[in-house]
Structure 1
Amino acid sequence: MKVADAVPDFAKAFGFEEFNRMQREALPAILDGSDNVVASAPTASGKTALAELAICRTLRDGGTALFIAPMRALTNEKEDEWDRFEELGYSVYVVTGERDLNPRRAERADILVMTPEKTDSATRKHDSPRYSFITGVDCVIVDEVHLLDSDGRGGVLEATVSRLRRLCDPRIVALSATMPNIDDVAGWLDAPPDSTFEFGDDYRPVDLHSDVRTYSHGDNAFADKYRRLYAALDIAEPHIREDGQALVFVSSRQDAMRAAAKARDEIAERDIPMGARGDYDFHNDATELSNDNLRKGVPDGVAFHHAGLAKDDRNRVEQWFKEGKIQLLFSTSTLAWGVNLPARCVVIRDTKYHDPLEGEVDISPLDILQMLGRAGRPGYDDVGYGWVVCDHADADKYRRLLREGKDIESRLAEDLDSHLNAEIAMGTIKDLDDVMGWLETTFYYQRAQSKPAEYGLDGLRERVRSTLQTLVDRGFVETDDELGVEATGLGTLTSKYYLRLGTAARFAALADRERLTVDSVLEAVASADEFDSVSARQAETDAIDQVLRGTDTNLEDGHRKVFAILTAAMDGKTPSELRSDAWVIRQNALRLLAALHEFADRFAGPRAANLICRIEARVEHGVSREAVALTAIDGVGATRAETLAQGELTTPGKIIEAGVDELTRAGITAGVAERIVEAAGNLPQITVDWGEFPDSIARGENEMCEVTIRTTAGSATAGIRVTVNGVEMNQKRCYLADSTAVPVGVFGAAEDLEFIVEVTFPDLPLPPVRASRSVVVD
């Protein structure tokens, strides 16, 4: 069946001219039917075309399609691939992080591309103008739906798809690698038998032979990596000698680079005929690579690939591998889920990896099968070879996996309380009947029907009731006499910021304190449940102790390490021993700080929120306390802020006073200086007018006065607090765009009076502005 005959208006959206057998069989249900569809097929059999057919059907009907990709790296890849839809006049928009979201583009997009986590976040906020676009989708394509069984992420995907079905009831097209219990997924999604497709290994373009190779442990983990590398090369060598290619999966970006370098030396020792040094054009093209290590290895036929490479470098490596100019490629798991780069031989060198938030963990069985599925080059090989290199203790486990595959299980129960709280916070669950109705929409419930003993089907409803009662007892949910349920302020914020319940409770307790300090804020974030699995390695101990010298904390192990990383990050001085995990930990901490900021604003007030806002800016930018206010100015980054602060230009107001000439003398070009001064003028500049405030008052008398707070430039939400002799007498919160008046009573007491007006900005990293006035009591 030719593409042009099946979808004449969309033929240019496909990268080929004719559908294969698998695609032809699924096409009528996707293109002409309206039921939900579930299709499982071997890796490299052409499932992406099924997603594109579902998109074509949606666009043909004037609807919006949402493609849920399994990981962030693949969302960008789809944006590039689907330029073909853009050329046909349709818009494709990848929804990324909170700060980068363009709601208008998302609203107008014909094709949205998101990760499960981003879709979860968007659906939780669907009733806000910023995320209302999510309820307008007509078709949801779930790529790699077998991720339901992924530890940590599976529950997110399950809850999100179930939620989308309740919010806007889109058509669901779920695609998967081969899975034994496809009927459970079809049952969950209400896909009828004639829209459920289980394409077996006979649909694989190349047969797959898979097996396990064991190795013996050496003295340490470092030595073990090289033992596994040599085993991988032993497996790959005969295929390379016969003009085949090998793809070796390793656990990290650094490992990919190091393994490639070591393999080049070993290949030279073994005298394996590889490389294309005689190809003058290829050799010239290789010099354009931006990565030095890649540039050295590619002419010898060895390369590495990971999501951290420059896009042009990645594209070149992929193209050269397809052309056979690279015969040995080391990669992280990103390639297994994304680009279709088959090889005659696939070796999984590492079955474990180090996660900064989880410690040493096994690569999931799903990832193992996905990687092995890359073995075999259609059109070149009759059979592909896939090998798992593991120690003797794990051999039987992996042999069983290769022989039997793996049923897809629900992971919803791992965070049942968090998911239930999210539904209540969104208002989709309003009473006990809704709770049970929600449960029945989940894959968890569907799987319990198939395996009642393992899932405890008889006690499932009681378990959910118990979970709901726990949410009530902990203050996340409240009930009424008619069995209605509603989220409290705590429950709403917990859902909004994607927090674990223990973390949210800890944040609420901190916000309830009378006084916050920098250390107490960082300690609360570092002790979050989200960091429970962080481990502190022995080699990091001295660096952690050095950073926290003089700091009083009861945190231990991984949480203490997080505390040290955040403390060091505030000044941009993270020790080299802690840098490998610092970026991931800092990004997670910034999300938690944003949540804590709103907790403080709601439960403690503007002063606490302002302190956390300044801490958040310091952790993000790595600047000193003196320079942090300057990060509020557009165009001022960490380096520039520190340079200006060293010249005692520490606030936007001082920048305005200094003017362009002073900034140019500080080494900033005139054009940039003009923009900085202009941007500083958009931030509030506060003056306090005491009006007819008296200088003295007789004992026993009183007088009501009015103090006016003005902003001479810019506007912002402000908290205004008036104290007398350290005791608060008045406070208000307002949006300060011009001026506001605050009544202040002057009472003749037993001692002289010291009035202080303090203005804080809860949403800006600006220091509080204070003005004082003394009154003598006669």
Structure 2
Amino acid sequence: MEVAEVVPEFAEAFPFDEFNEMQREAVPALLDSDANVVASAPTGSGKTALAELAICQTLDAGGTALFVAPLRALTNEKEDEWERFEDLGYSVYVVTGERDLNPRRAERADVLVMTPEKADSATRKHDSPRYSFVTDVDCVVIDEVHLLDSEKRGSVLEVVVSRLRRLCDPRVVALSATMPNIDDVAEWLDATPETTFEFGDEYRPVDLHAGVRTYTHGDNPFADKYRRLFTALDLAEPHLREDGQSLVFVSSRQDTVQAAKKTRDEIGERDIPVGSRGDYEFHTDAEELDNATLRKSVLDGVAFHHAGLSTHDKNLVEEWFREGKIRVLFSTSTLAWGVNLPARCVVIRDTKLHDPLEGEVDMSPLDVLQMLGRAGRPGYDDVGYGWVVCDSSDADKYRELLREGKEIESRLDGNLAEHLNAEIAMGTIRGLGDVMEWLETTFYYRRAQSAPDDYDFPNLKERVRETLDALVEDGFVETDDDLGLSATRLGVLASTYYLRLDTAREFEAVATDDADADGILRAVANAGEFDSVSARQSERDAIDRVLGHAGDEMDDGPRKVYAILRGSMDGSVPPELRSDAWVIKQNALRLLAALGAFFDRYDDPAGANAAARLEARIDTGVPEDAVGLTALDGVAAGRAHKLHDEGIETPADVRDAGVSGLADAGLSEGVAESVLGQAAGMPAVSVDWGDFPESIAVGENEMCEVAVRNDGGATPVGVRVTVNGVEMTETSGYLDDAVTAPVGVFGADADELTFEVTVSFADLPLLPVTDTRTVAVE
């Protein structure tokens, strides 16, 4: 079955000329109807072509397709791969959290690509102009639908699919690796037996021999890593001596590098002929690599691959591995889900991972099966070999997994309250009847029907009702006399910012209190999102160096988060904490943005400003006196530090410096002009005291008016007036030209009265503007 005969208008979109046996069987279901399709097939059998066929059918009908990819790295790969659709005149647009959304491009796109998390975010905001495009999709292709079983991410995928089906009822095409209970997924998605395909191991391009190899566990975790590494090399060695290749999965980016270094030495000791040092052309090509360690390693036939490498280096490693120049490749799990890079022998060296937010966790069974599925090179090998290296206490668990596979379970029960609150906040659930209708659209409900004892199916609806009652009792949802449901201010904030409900309640308490910057930091560090963070023994001295005795009353995990945030504010996170710092920082920045929104919604501009300044400092590491520079587009950490070093610390300083002064500080002329333009749009605030008296007699009083004037860009502000440190008045509003605040001057027992006006910028990380006046009491 030739591609050009089946989809002549899209033949150039496929990287091959003929469909294989598995693809041929699915073609009629994908192209000749709009029915929902579910297909499971072994890794490497060509599932991607099924996704592309579904997209072709949608494009041919003038519709829009949404491709949901399991990892952000894969969305970027699809953007590159699907330039083939661009060449045919169709627009492909990737929507990720790391890029600014272009709503016009998204609205005009023919193919949208998102992760489940981004699709969740977009559909939660579907009634806003920026995200309305998400309800105009005609077909949703779910890549790796067995991600439903992921403890962390499965519920997100589940609610997104259910939500889209309720919002716009698109066609759904779900693809997955082999899963024993495919019928549960098919029933959930209303796929008929004729459009449900379960392709077994006979469709694997290469047979798979999978097994478990144990090692002797010791007391030293570093020594254990080397024990597992030598075991992995024992398993790979016979294949390497027969000109085969081995792909070894390890737990972290750092481990890929360290394992590659040790393997180069060990291969030399064992005299395994895998190097390419005699290949002078390859020697020259290797000089193109950005990573110096990788540059040395590839010449010995050993390499590493992880998400932290440059795209250039990753592409070269993949190309050389396919060509056989690299014989042993160490990688993190990302490679198993993404690039089709098979090897004769695949070894999973590490079954336990360190998660910055969870501590030590077992590798997901889905990841294990996905990795082993990379064993065997179509067209080169008759059989692939996959091995799990583990402690003997875990051996039976993995043997059972390899023998029976992994049934797909719903993970919605673990955070049912958060997702139910989100649906009510969006308005897709408006009453008790809607709650039960929503429940019946979930995989949770379908799976409970299939395994009633495991899910306590007879009591499932009562469980959901109890969850709803708790949301009402805790202040996230309110009801009316007609049994209608709506989200409270707290419920909307929790949904908008993806907060755990316990965190949202704590943030509400902080926002209604008079929290200072340190109190805000502590609230974030103590958030439930970090409750599984642990501090290893080797990290505790580093934490003490950052904090001294600050936070001694905190538990070890929150105190570690607190130390990372404090260290990030001035760019001094100790090396011992850096491996976890990036993930913790990203989550903390999200939580700080959320807490800032709480301050804003509870009418505390000063609190919102404090949160914004903390967020900017943690993100960039700029000093407190230069944090206002981060309000300017195009000024991130590097430029902010550069300007600060030259004495340019605020947008006002930028305006005073002009293009020439900014150029003298190291900015290019084009960047200087852009930054100066940004600074011109910032607020320029001053305090006008008017006819404020210099003195007042004891017992007398005088009502005055203080004006806050703005000669720059308009912005929301809070104005607070104190006398001798005691709050006198507070007001907030949108500062365009000027706002005024009444101030009473009362002759009191004190010798003098010091009045202070503080102007805080609710939406900007600018330092507050303060001004004082002293009145003598005579």
TM range (shorter): over 0.9
Deviation at 1:162, TM superposition (A): 0.7
Runs of 5+ unmatched residues, structure 1 = none
Deviations 1:52-102 (Å, cap 9, x if unpaired)?
A: 011111111111111111111111111111111111111111111166222
Is residue 372 of structure 1 aligned with residue 372 of structure 2? yes
CA distance in 2, matches of 1:750, 1:210: 86
- Correspondence for 1:77: 77
SS at match of 2:104: helix
Is residue 200 of structure 1 aligned with residue 200 of structure 2? yes
**Alignment check: 8 A CA contact 2:625 2:767 kept:** no
- Correspondence for 2:41: 41
SS at match of 2:385: strand
TM-score by length of 1: 0.96
- Correspondence for 2:487: 487
Deviation at 1:483, TM superposition (A): 1.8
Matches within 5 A, 1:130-529: 130-513=130-513, 515-529=514-528
For residue 523 of structure 1, what is the amino acid of its counterpart?
Answer: R
Deviation at 1:689, TM superposition (A): 3.0
For residue 371 of structure 2, what is the amino acid of its counterpart?
Answer: M
Runs of 5+ unmatched residues, structure 2 = none
Quick one: structure 1 residues 647 and 256, their matched pair in 2 at CA, closer, same or farther if it must change by over 3 Å?
A: closer
Deviation at 1:487, TM superposition (A): 0.8
For residue 656 of structure 1, what is the amino acid of its counterpart?
Answer: R
Matches within 5 A, 1:699-718: 706-718=705-717
CA distance in 2, matches of 1:662, 1:375: 60
For residue 45 of structure 2, what is the amino acid of its counterpart?
Answer: S
Deviation at 1:701, TM superposition (A): 7.4
Deviation at 1:543, TM superposition (A): 0.9
**Alignment check: 8 A CA contact 2:701 2:747 kept:** no
SS at match of 1:555: coil
**Alignment check: 8 A CA contact 1:704 1:743 kept:** no
**Alignment check: 8 A CA contact 2:91 2:109 kept:** yes
For residue 531 of structure 1, what is the amino acid of its counterpart?
Answer: F
Quick one: structure 1 residues 379 and 543, their matched pair in 2 at CA, closer, same or farther if it must change by over 3 Å?
A: same
Deviation at 1:230, TM superposition (A): 1.2
Is residue 66 of structure 1 aligned with residue 40 of structure 2? no
RMSD over aligned Cα atoms? 2.1
CA distance in 2, matches of 1:704, 1:762: 28
CA distance in 2, matches of 1:347, 1:337: 15
Deviation at 1:306, TM superposition (A): 1.3
Deviation at 1:137, TM superposition (A): 1.2
For residue 499 of structure 2, what is the amino acid of its counterpart?
Answer: L
- Correspondence for 1:605: 604
For residue 234 of structure 2, what is the amino acid of its counterpart?
Answer: D
CA distance in 1, matches of 2:492, 2:182: 35
**Alignment check: 8 A CA contact 1:706 1:741 kept:** no
Is residue 736 of structure 1 aligned with residue 727 of structure 2? no
Aligned residues: 776
CA distance in 1, matches of 2:287, 2:656: 50
Deviation at 1:733, TM superposition (A): 3.0
SS at match of 1:533: coil
CA distance in 2, matches of 1:83, 1:234: 42
Deviation at 1:669, TM superposition (A): 6.1
Deviation at 1:583, TM superposition (A): 0.9
**Alignment check: 8 A CA contact 2:696 2:747 kept:** no
CA distance in 1, matches of 2:648, 2:64: 50
SS at match of 1:759: strand
Deviations 1:85-140 (Å, cap 9, x if unpaired)?
A: 11111111111116622222222211111111111111111112222221111111
Deviation at 1:28, TM superposition (A): 1.0
Deviation at 1:467, TM superposition (A): 0.8
**Alignment check: 8 A CA contact 2:66 2:139 kept:** yes
Deviation at 1:728, TM superposition (A): 4.7
Quick one: structure 1 residues 667 and 86, their matched pair in 2 at CA, closer, same or farther if it must change by over 3 Å?
A: closer
Deviation at 1:276, TM superposition (A): 2.8
- Correspondence for 2:125: 125
For residue 337 of structure 2, what is the amino acid of its counterpart?
Answer: W
Deviation at 1:269, TM superposition (A): 1.5
- Correspondence for 2:106: 106
**Alignment check: 8 A CA contact 1:700 1:747 kept:** no
Deviation at 1:720, TM superposition (A): 2.7
CA distance in 1, matches of 2:257, 2:378: 28
**Alignment check: 8 A CA contact 2:681 2:712 kept:** yes
SS at match of 1:577: helix
SS at match of 2:35: coil
Deviation at 1:725, TM superposition (A): 5.4
Deviation at 1:770, TM superposition (A): 2.4
**Alignment check: 8 A CA contact 1:716 1:735 kept:** yes
- Correspondence for 1:572: 571
CA distance in 1, matches of 2:687, 2:394: 71
Quick one: structure 1 residues 668 and 411, their matched pair in 2 at CA, closer, same or farther if it must change by over 3 Å?
A: closer
For residue 565 of structure 2, what is the amino acid of its counterpart?
Answer: L
TM-score by length of 2: 0.96
For residue 434 of structure 1, what is the amino acid of its counterpart?
Answer: D
Deviation at 1:726, TM superposition (A): 4.9
Deviation at 1:671, TM superposition (A): 6.0
SS at match of 1:381: coil
- Correspondence for 1:689: 688
SS at match of 2:625: coil
| Residues 391-400 or 766-775, more deviating | 766-775
CA distance in 2, matches of 1:453, 1:189: 22
Deviation at 1:279, TM superposition (A): 2.9
CA distance in 2, matches of 1:660, 1:63: 49
Deviation at 1:501, TM superposition (A): 0.8
SS at match of 1:97: coil
SS at match of 1:63: coil
**Alignment check: 8 A CA contact 1:188 1:443 kept:** yes
Deviation at 1:532, TM superposition (A): 1.3
For residue 594 of structure 2, what is the amino acid of its counterpart?
Answer: A
CA distance in 2, matches of 1:360, 1:312: 32
**Alignment check: 8 A CA contact 2:241 2:272 kept:** yes
Is residue 593 of structure 1 aligned with residue 592 of structure 2? yes
CA distance in 1, matches of 2:351, 2:156: 24
SS at match of 1:574: coil
**Alignment check: 8 A CA contact 1:614 1:628 kept:** yes
SS at match of 2:275: coil
For residue 577 of structure 2, what is the amino acid of its counterpart?
Answer: L
| Residues 443-452 or 549-558, more deviating | 549-558
**Alignment check: 8 A CA contact 1:723 1:729 kept:** yes
Deviation at 1:724, TM superposition (A): 5.0
CA distance in 2, matches of 1:725, 1:499: 39
**Alignment check: 8 A CA contact 1:609 1:763 kept:** yes
- Correspondence for 1:542: 541
CA distance in 2, matches of 1:747, 1:331: 70
Deviation at 1:547, TM superposition (A): 1.1
Quick one: structure 1 residues 34 and 667, their matched pair in 2 at CA, closer, same or farther if it must change by over 3 Å?
A: closer
Deviation at 1:663, TM superposition (A): 4.9
CA distance in 1, matches of 2:647, 2:25: 72
**Alignment check: 8 A CA contact 2:516 2:607 kept:** no
For residue 744 of structure 1, what is the amino acid of its counterpart?
Answer: P
SS at match of 1:300: coil
CA distance in 1, matches of 2:420, 2:45: 37
Quick one: structure 1 residues 745 and 351, their matched pair in 2 at CA, closer, same or farther if it must change by over 3 Å?
A: closer
CA distance in 1, matches of 2:353, 2:746: 70
**Alignment check: 8 A CA contact 1:511 1:600 kept:** yes
Is residue 765 of structure 1 aligned with residue 753 of structure 2? no
Deviation at 1:512, TM superposition (A): 1.4
For residue 411 of structure 2, what is the amino acid of its counterpart?
Answer: R
Quick one: structure 1 residues 608 and 99, their matched pair in 2 at CA, closer, same or farther if it must change by over 3 Å?
A: farther
